[in-house]
Amino acid sequence: MEISEADALISEASRYLKPEELKLLSCSYYFSQHAHQGQFRRTGDTYISHPVAVAKILCGLRLDVLTLVSALLHDVVEDTNISKAELRENFGETVAALVDGVSKLDKIEFQTQADAQAENFRKMLLAMAQDVRVILIKLADRLHNMRTLDVMRTDKKKRIARETLEIYAPIAHRLGLNNIYQELQELGFQHTYPNRYKVLTKATKAARGNRREVVSKILEAIKQKLLNAGIDAIVTGREKHLYSIYKKMSEKQLSFSEVLDIYAFRVLVKNTRSCYAALGVLHGLYKPIPGKFKDYIAIPKPNGYQSLHNTLLGPYGLPLEIQIRTFEMHRIAETGVASHWLYKSSDNEDNDLHLKTNQWLKSLLETLSDSSDSVEFLEHLKIDIFPGDVYVFTPQGKIVALPRGSTVVDFAYAIHTDVGNCCVAAKVNGENCPLRYKLKNGDRVEILTAPTAKPNPGWLSYVNTGRARSSIRHFLRTIHYDESAELGERLLNQVLLSFNILPETITPAQWDKLVKDSGVKTPKALFAEIALGKQFPVVVAKRLTAPYEALSEAFSTNNNPISILGTEGMAIQFAKCCYPIPGDAIAGLIKKDHGLVIHTQDCSTVSKYLKNSENLLSVCWGNEISNTFQSVIIMTVVNQRGVLARVAAEIAKVGSNIDDVELENDDNFTNMRFILQVRSRKHLAQIMRELRHIREIVKLSRVKTGIEHKYHRSSI
């Protein structure tokens, strides 16, 4: 590494840094150079060339001196003997924290050890939330690594490139770092799909030659038209990037020749009024294509991006993509959140952008805390880092940006987690609509809530945002956990009472020892494991009360059954093989990760566990049961018009709902299988008595032996 390259960095930084800041930057360069002495990159360059390149990228964004210093030092803790304490002593707490934040992000592997990769991204977001400059340094680091990726093995090259496309490029976009975003995309595309990249490169070069004269004429026509209208503007033409062409071809199943708008034109003007004036002028020059206009000035993107977008029909039927923005909008479009550090004292737009970024980071941290594991969080992260495409309004007129495909439930959670959790209905543009309704640009959405409402697990099948998905999962896990803990405590107390041991006589010391020996943190966690079948109540009772000789008796002597009410929530399941209902003799079966499953005593599944008494629990129905339970009946009916309707009417008349019905037809008869909601055996008997009044029913019975019948599904 020649000293002249360090001088080049100092020279570029001198355009906006103060002399004392340049001195600090120079000191950090020599410190880093000495720390990396004798180290080389795979390219053969001395290692110091990498941190200098990273600092130059950030210098191009006009970032503050502490960010540049941290960039020069970002690998010293990870790759040398320098400690964080030494950095703090020499360069201060901020630099030490930034370097430490970036160092935690090293050695991320893609699609090798998913948990390790995802956990590193969790760390990245945590560090990023403390100071967004951490991710700016990391993005610059990734960009330089991508520029020198050719020296890597093919498999590693593709892994890093795919990770760049899926994670780092979208984060750069979300932060408004347009230039870094586009270069990361292009390099990621080049190394992920090298053959496709080569073919498209060749095709665009050929198209460039064919269209050069036409594009030049269009550029001059736009400039002249704006000049004649008295609008002072700078107009430039540019090719659309290869990756955006590839995505359009891939998503819309187009050939290259069908992707006509591979050229775009950008118009820069002095103020917002001139943006709209220029738009009107260009509409007089070329006809706009309906449905293609987007006003990101009135409704900015979440990353602060503002511009007018339109597609016009140019000469020879050539679609022209036009972007119109002010010089200030252009600066923010190119540097995004990075512009905050240089202009924060005087520019309200930059401060608003920084505030939006902090809100986004806060939202990601909420998702982080709600996610049960790192892989789940990474799934949510990949959804939420892509910029919003749908802009909707609250009843008060506030704009909410959401990813394309978002539903009313996503909107509710975007407003607040409590609004999402208590959501029961919604109005879109003043009309009632289902919660799965996919929002469109300009929709005005009002959420109706109820204090007692809870998230529906079915929402997970159609929500689109990571925040909504993680909030629903977190709520369901919490409810399940609380219900499981309550059930687990009842199961353990049942065993203790069956051996004449009062639970309240267990001492705190005994509980502490049991919790420690079980590898859990609290008694509540142990109770939850009992309910989920991960710990057997008899075994736990023996460990808890080892001095009591009564526990040496067989579990089969248990004569204190646990009562089942049907209100235990997800902690208790009712077996689908025998569909037990109140009035049936029942047995409880503890299954690992399933918890307590209730069967009828004559179920074949129960007979398999008779020799393993630890899995079986004595259970009975409680005295006050208000819930309904599923029960299955089958019948054979004579094929006649309207039979199914009469059957359904009789079932409804006796106060039962039909959950499902399946049919199997032959020439003269139809076999029907119903899943009904019933209160008890008496209720089911009443239903069957009423059904027997229908003359066309030749056979009717309840199914509770686990025998499955295959019918063609039908709806009433």
Domain boundaries, the chain: 3-188, 196-343, 353-470, 473-621, 629-713
Taking only the tens place, the pLDDT of each residue in 131-140 is 778 888 999 9
Contact (CB, 8 A) for 649 and 696:
no
- Which pLDDT score is estimated for 419? 93
- Which pLDDT score is estimated for 360? 59
Q: For domain 3-188, give its CATH number from 3.30.530.80, 1.10.10.60, 1.10.3210.10, 3.30.565.10.
A: 1.10.3210.10
Domain 353-470 grouped into CATH 3.10.20.30? yes
| CB-based contacts of 404, cutoff 8 Å, min separation 6 | 388, 389, 390
Give this prediction's pTM.
Answer: 0.57
Is the model's pLDDT at 558 over the cut of 50? no
- Which pLDDT score is estimated for 550? 39
Dig out the tokens for 663 from the structure. Answer: 């049919």
**How far is the C-alpha of 70 from the C-alpha of 654, rounded, in Å?**
75
Q: For domain 629-713, give its CATH number from 2.170.270.10, 3.30.465.10, 3.30.70.260, 1.10.4080.10.
A: 3.30.70.260
Taking only the tens place, the pLDDT of each residue in 188-203 is 999 999 999 898 888 8
Lowest mean pLDDT among 117-121, 367-371, 397-401: 367-371
Residue 370 falls in the annotated catalytic set = no
Task: Specify the fold of 196-343.
Answer: Beta Polymerase; domain 2 (3.30.460)
Residue 78 falls in the annotated catalytic set = yes
Contact (CB, 8 A) for 378 and 124:
no
| % of residues, the chain, pLDDT over 90 | 28
**Of 5, 21, 79, 86, which one is the catalytic site residue?**
79
Contact (CB, 8 A) for 483 and 524:
no
SS3 state of residue 348: helix
Is the model's pLDDT at 533 over the cut of 90? no
Look at residues 18, 125, 107, 698 and name the one whose alpha carbon lies nearest to residue 381: 125
Lowest mean pLDDT among 521-530, 644-653, 661-670, 707-716: 707-716
Core vs surface per residue 666-682: b (16+ CB within 10 A) or e: eeeebbbbbbbbbbbee
With tokens 């095709």, the residue in question is 203
**How far is the C-alpha of 260 from the C-alpha of 320, rounded, in Å?**
9
**How far is the C-alpha of 376 from the C-alpha of 395, rounded, in Å?**
33
**How far is the C-alpha of 480 from the C-alpha of 476, rounded, in Å?**
6
SS3 state of residue 147: helix
Give 320's strand partners: 312
**Of 78, 131, 482, 486, which one is the catalytic site residue?**
78
Give the sheet arrangement for strand 445-449, strand by strand. Answer: 431-433, 423-428, 445-449
**How far is the C-alpha of 70 from the C-alpha of 72, rounded, in Å?**
5
Look at residues 405, 334, 351, 56 and name the one whose alpha carbon lies nearest to residue 172: 334
Torsion of CA 689, 694, 699, 704, to 10 degrees: -40
Look at residues 418, 419, 367, 362 and name the one whose alpha carbon lies nearest to residue 394: 419
| CB-based contacts of 55, cutoff 8 Å, min separation 6 | 9, 25, 68, 71, 72, 140
Lowest mean pLDDT among 220-234, 254-268, 398-412: 254-268
**How far is the C-alpha of 618 from the C-alpha of 324, rounded, in Å?**
74
Lowest mean pLDDT among 31-40, 340-349, 414-423, 627-636: 340-349
